[in-house]
Amino acid sequence: MTAQDTIQKTVTHNDVVLFMKGTKMMPQCGFSSKVAGILNFMGVDYADIDVLADADIRQGIKEFSDWPTIPQLYVKGEFVGGCDIVIEMTLSGELDQMFADKGVVFDQDKAEQIRAANV
């Protein structure tokens, strides 16, 4: 199976996937830490894929999404974006709406706490 096949299978078989440096419990870069922190705080169940553990996946995800940076968030197979986009969507409420529209369970109160803390 190629890296592209593995990535496709991963985003297809998991509702929410974060390709990141490190893991959700031990991020290895600040950008990955920010996105994992948002998802963890909001109580989102997601698959965390450590791109540092596999060079083929690390390069393959950039080609798969045509996006040059990591982390990369996928929701129900759809590429959402990287750190800046996830933060922006969280603060605007767009991420909540996407989760709600796609049936992804999350804590609405926690999402509102993030926004309140960043006013």
Q: Which residues are annotated as a binding site for [2Fe-2S] cluster?
A: 29
42 neighbors 106 (Cβ within 8 angstroms): yes
For the annotated binding site, the residues are 29
Distances (CA, A) of 81 to 1, 2, 31, 105, 117: 25, 23, 12, 19, 23
**Burial grade of 77 (CB within 10 A; 0-12, 13-18, 19 or more):** middle
Question: Is the peptide bond between 71 and the residue preceding it cis, with omega within 30 degrees of 0?
Answer: yes
Q: For 106, phi and psi rounded to 5 degrees? A: -155, 165
